[in-house]
């Protein structure tokens, strides 16, 4: 039998030590080889265990890619993805949120199509019911998480996708033909354009999280007693020799201004202008003008025999509806009601009259000019700055 001399020396020399060393080295080689094979054949599965390992592979000169980072969780390689969904919002690697826009708009169309089965042109759900469904179900879906992805709708392509969804619903609400344009559909359906709804959602979020005052409804404990709410009524006939209040609000280039003019017998008794914060709305400007004009009435220099009758003339039906609706308790609305009640306690009679815009009424034209002047001038203190609610 032929025996290698080195083998005999090894066998009679250090049998236990050398055997253990070779076994350990062989095991290490096998594990390294297995891990190398496993790294190149990663199963890309997720797991919830806590053991993690990371391996990096240096880029080759011809690949042109960045270094790849493999993350292992319990010996399972985690998949690297270009987008993920978290709390209903799709995040992509570039934070463009294009995928989220596609997801939301694609989700809205099937809902509208299901509603279309029971909302035909001449039968089915009516205008009011469809409008409630839109404002309570569809619009919240379209604007969900808007503070996160608001910049996505600055892209015309994404905004057009939202327009397509809203226009489809607007046509159902207005019972109109399919050829109706987007802007016309918003007017006929009586809903805000989706871009404004998104901006309102963002403003509300920032107001409630950045300590910015928001024009929210008053808490119930601050509501006036129903007996103290004045009756907002219109004159039943044309009145003469009375105080006429004209007001207007204007928003130009991001600046907001308001004006009030008080006239009696074609004589201007008082005129004033007001600046407001750029985030205020045109309706807020008009309501501020009404409030300031009512506060000024009592200080007017009138004769002793003059009738204490004042007529607030406005071309804003939104403001009149807010004053007449006793279920609305916003700060400006309640302030105007409180001022009317104060005047009534002083034996004044206050009427609210709606007038058409641009009909060349002296006081209305003057208030319009003054409001535009207040909006364009950079001087003056801003007397109101609460964020509006659409």
Ordered by start, the domain boundaries in the chain are 86-209, 220-376
Task: State pLDDT tens for residues 157-172.
Answer: 999 999 999 999 999 9
Instruction: Name the DSSP letter for residue 192.
Output: -
- Of the listed ranges 65-69, 198-202, 209-213, the least confidently predicted one is 65-69
92 phi/psi in degrees, rounded to 5: -110, 170
Mean pLDDT of 312-327: 90
Instruction: Examine the pLDDT at 187 and tell me if it is beyond 60.
Output: yes
Average pLDDT score over the chain: 81
Tokens of 283: 């309706």
* pLDDT for position 172: 92
Give dist(CA 36, CA 48) in Å, integer.
23
- Residue whose C-alpha is closest to residue 135's, from 85, 211, 190, 188: 190
- Of the listed ranges 59-73, 98-112, 126-140, 320-334, the least confidently predicted one is 59-73
Give dist(CA 344, CA 229) in Å, integer.
11
Structure-derived torsion over alpha carbons of residues 136, 142, 146, 151, reported in degrees to the nearest 10: -150
Instruction: Examine the pLDDT at 380 and tell me if it is beyond 80.
Output: no
- Residue whose C-alpha is closest to residue 252's, from 228, 233, 276, 268: 276
- Of the listed ranges 11-25, 162-176, 346-360, the least confidently predicted one is 11-25
Instruction: Examine the pLDDT at 5 and tell me if it is beyond 80.
Output: no
Q: Which CATH architecture describes the domain 220-376? A: 2-Layer Sandwich (3.30)
Residues paired with 68 in a beta bridge: 57
Counting residues of the chain whose pLDDT is more than 90, the rounded percentage is: 41
Instruction: Examine the pLDDT at 218 and tell me if it is beyond 50.
Output: yes
Task: State pLDDT tens for residues 30-56.
Answer: 444 444 444 444 444 444 444 444 454
Among all chains, which residue has been given the structure tokens 């015309």? 156
* pLDDT for position 67: 63
- Of the listed ranges 5-9, 207-211, 272-276, the least confidently predicted one is 5-9
250 phi/psi in degrees, rounded to 5: -145, 140
Task: State pLDDT tens for residues 16-36.
Answer: 444 444 444 444 444 444 444
If pLDDT is split at 50, 70 and 90, which confidence band does 355 have?
confident
- Residue whose C-alpha is closest to residue 263's, from 368, 372, 366: 366
* pLDDT for position 152: 94
* pLDDT for position 13: 42
Strand boundaries in the chain, DSSP class E? 52-57, 68-73, 76-77, 83-86, 89-92, 243-252, 255-264, 267-276, 309-314, 349-354
Q: How far is CA 349 from the centre of its chain?
A: 40
Among all chains, which residue has been given the structure tokens 């004053």? 323
Among all chains, which residue has been given the structure tokens 């302030």? 335
Residue that wins the pLDDT comparison between 95 and 377? 95
Among all chains, which residue has been given the structure tokens 């159902």? 172
Instruction: Examine the pLDDT at 255 and tell me if it is beyond 90.
Output: no
């Amino acid at each position: 039998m032929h025996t290698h001399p080195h083998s005999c020396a090894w066998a009679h020399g250090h049998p236990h030590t050398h055997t253990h060393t070779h076994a350990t080295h062989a095991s290490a080689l096998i594990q390294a080889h297995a891990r190398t094979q496993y790294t190149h054949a990663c199963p890309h599965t997720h797991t919830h265990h806590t053991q993690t390992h990371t391996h990096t592979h240096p880029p080759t000169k011809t690949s042109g890619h960045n270094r790849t980072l493999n993350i292992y969780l319990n010996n399972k390689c985690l998949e690297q993805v270009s987008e993920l969904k978290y709390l209903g919002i799709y995040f992509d690697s570039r934070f463009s949120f294009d995928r989220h826009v596609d997801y939301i708009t694609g989700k809205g169309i099937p809902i509208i199509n299901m509603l279309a089965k029971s909302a035909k042109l001449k039968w089915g759900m009516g205008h009011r019911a469809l409008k409630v469904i839109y404002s309570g179900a569809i619009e919240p879906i379209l604007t969900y998480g808007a503070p996160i992805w608001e910049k996505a709708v600055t892209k015309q392509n994404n905004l057009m996708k939202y327009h397509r969804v809203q226009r489809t619903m607007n046509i159902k609400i207005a019972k109109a033909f399919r050829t109706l344009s987007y802007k016309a559909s918003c007017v006929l359906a009586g809903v805000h354009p989706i871009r404004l709804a998104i901006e309102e959602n963002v403003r509300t979020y920032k107001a409630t999280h950045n300590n910015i005052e928001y024009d929210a409804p008053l808490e119930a404990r601050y509501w006036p007693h129903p007996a103290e709410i004045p009756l907002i009524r219109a004159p039943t006939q044309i009145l003469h020799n009375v105080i006429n209040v004209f007001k207007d609000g204007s928003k130009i280039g991001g600046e907001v201004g308001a004006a009030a003019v008080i006239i009696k017998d074609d004589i201007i008794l008082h005129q004033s202008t007001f600046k407001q914060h750029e985030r205020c709305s045109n309706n807020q400007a008009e309501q501020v003008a009404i409030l300031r004009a009512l506060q000024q009435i009592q200080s007017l220099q009138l004769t002793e025999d003059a009738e204490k009758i004042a007529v607030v003339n406005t071309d804003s039906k939104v403001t009149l509806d807010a004053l007449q609706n006793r279920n609305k308790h916003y700060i400006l609305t309640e302030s105007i009601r409180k001022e009317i009640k104060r005047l009534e306690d002083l034996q004044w009679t206050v009427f609210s009259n709606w007038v058409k815009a641009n009909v060349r009424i002296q006081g209305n034209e003057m208030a319009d000019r003054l409001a535009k002047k207040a909006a364009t001038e950079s001087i003056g203190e801003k007397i109101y700055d609460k964020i509006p609610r659409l």
